[in-house]
Chains A and B, each alone.
Chain A
Amino acid sequence: MSSRPQTAGRSPWRVPQLSLRWVPVFRRNLLVWRKLMIPSLVGNIAEPLITLVAFGYGLGALVGQVQVQGSTLPYIVFLASGSICMSAMNAASFEALYSAFSRMQVQRTWDGIMNAPVELDDVVLAEMLWAAFKALSASAAILLVMLALGISHSPWLLLALPLLGLVGMVFASIALIFNALAKGYDFFTYYFTLFLTPTMFLSGVFFPREQLPGFMQAIAQWLPLTAAVELIRPLFLGQWPAQAGQHLMVLIAYGAGAFWLALALTRRRFRA
């Protein structure tokens, strides 16, 4: 007499079972971050600002004005609006790859958490939201510096914050897919060189996408970072983004799809 439990062979693709149990996991990461906040923020902010200063003022002097979709803007504003999206992408990716992997595999923090009434789904959700929060805090700090530098004074920039949080969620979810597949930190190098770096150059951060060959433009059009840049750049100019609905939908589709895939692969990894 042996009864087969209904849950045997649960599909890893089953619907995410989300609850508010992610909150204490998020707070755990927040408590660690509060101890290391200054070096962490400096790390997240310094590099994009150096890029901005070097390219913006250096290259900007050569380039002058840039024409994008009918409007003309100084190169420094063009670059600032693109690179803030890139910073959100990078901050979320680093957190959801290297840091999440440390907690999942090296420190066994996840194992400890799942000994309490917190399920894997809650942990993955918490990690995703946490990486998005780090992306948001880093890009908010960068935005403050940009305001101080007088790159833009548009009140519309307030709208950029929730959007950057969303960008963080999208790239955190994508990164968690690779986290679920990783055997070690080395694996993440592929993700950075084969996905994030091309994304950065194709998405209109450094130069207008119109400069790209046709087939690349076709690819670039559907990249999540492109959608982010298209949404946020007009805000720097005090304009409402064109096709805002479409770009938002692209981001949401990437975020939701990637999160589900990341969760399924993580469940498989944990045989849960």
Chain B
Amino acid sequence: MQDPLFSVRQLSKRYGDQTVVDQLSFDIAPGQCLGVIGPNGAGKTTTVRMCLGLATPDEGQVIFHSATGDLQMPRDSRAIKARLGIVSQFDSLDPDFSCAENLLVFGRYFGLPDAVIRERIPRLLEFAALGSKAPARISELSGGMKRRLSLARALVNDPDLLLLDEPTTGLDPQARHLMWERLQQLVQQGKSILLTTHFMDEAERLCDRLIVLDHGRKMCEGAPRDLIARELEPEVVEVYGSGALEMAQSPLRALATRTEISGETVFFYTHDAKALLQALSGEAHLRTLHRPANLEDLFLKLTGRQIREDA
């Protein structure tokens, strides 16, 4: 890997008896998108907060490798944040301002002169597909527009690294696709991205590398395709319908390497599904879905299929 732009080393955070982040380390290279996936309460947001200097780690370091030397959170928080763009989980746009004013006011927090910000505003709104919305109030925007304005706001200081905490949660499919397209453009422009999400399609599409986080610990790390190939059988047959659950105990089991049950569905993991599909074709009351293994399977294998109370 290239020399990293941003590093997290043995980061730990405890709240009372609970260890929320446990010895977490990772690097992000320039122009790379790193995804952090994990169930709710896995420590994703706490990790982001420590990266931002908003929470103080109990152990470990957050380092930004700048041309002039290493900067460390929270000591050099101001210098690091000048190089970061942040889209947090909840919109914090200013409801009292128009779209353009939101960008202007936010740019001032970076100490940018008004003239510089005003010159950037049309370009940023254009990028966010909000070109005609400069004078619009925040209350007039849809959820997707608000998120894109948050993204535009995070770009006002032309950052090197974007920290995106669940940037598409709550968006409809069109709005998510538009967001993804913009994020891919940013990576092509050479920006680095740290992204947390619990959408596996999002992680697979956007991220060069992924970390699966659970109970604050890193379960695995790698490129999405590599992780799937390394951890999982290549093919999956999902079986559902009345009597599907008995299949999990039937002799069919021998045709799969691994079997899992989630709700009313049985998942057969196998290197070759032919024999299994043939055997299932006799069971007319069952519905089957044959597909390649994906990130969702990996995620569920590592973090468990049971529904958590705090989820």
Contacts and interface: CB of A to CB of B under 8 A. Distances in A.
A193 interface: no
Contacts of A118: 109
Interface in A98-131: 107-109, 111-119
A35 B96 contact: yes
Interface stretch (B80-88, B210-218, B244-252, B256-264): B80-88
A116 B109 contact: yes
B56 A272 contact: yes
A7 B56 contact: yes
B30 interface: no
A114 B86 CA distance: 10
B74 A25 contact: no
Contact of A10 (B56, B101, B157): B56
Given A32-B96, A119-B77, A270 B105 contact: no
Contact of A8 (B59, B105, B106): B59
A9 interface: yes
A109 B94 contact: yes
Interface in B102-130: 105-106, 108-111
Interface string B60-73: 11000000000010
B: interface residue count bin: 35 or more
B62 to A, nearest CB: 9
B104 to A, nearest CB: 9
B58 interface: yes
Nearest to A23: B108
A5 B57 contact: yes
The A contact surface, by secondary structure, is loop
Interface string A1-25: 1111111111000000000010011
Contact of A272 (B54, B109, B111): B54
Interface string B182-208: 000000000000000000000000000
A8 B57 contact: yes
B11 to A, nearest CB: 9
Contacts of A28: 94, 105, 108
Nearest to A6: B75
B97 interface: yes
A243 to B, nearest CB: 43
The 4 closest A-B pairs by CB, nearest first: A112-B92, A116-B109, A24-B108, A115-B86
Interface of A: 1-10, 21, 24-25, 27-28, 31-32, 35, 107-109, 111-119, 270-272
29 contacts: A2-B10, A4-B59, A5-B57, A5-B75, A6-B75, A7-B74, A8-B59, A10-B56, A24-B108, A24-B109, A24-B111, A25-B109, A27-B105, A27-B108, A28-B94, A31-B101, A32-B94, A107-B92, A107-B95, A111-B90, A112-B92, A114-B54, A115-B84, A115-B92, A117-B109, A117-B111, A119-B78, A271-B54, A271-B55
Interface of B: 10, 12, 23, 52, 54-61, 72, 74-75, 77-79, 81-82, 84, 86, 88, 90-97, 101, 105-106, 108-111, 153-154, 157
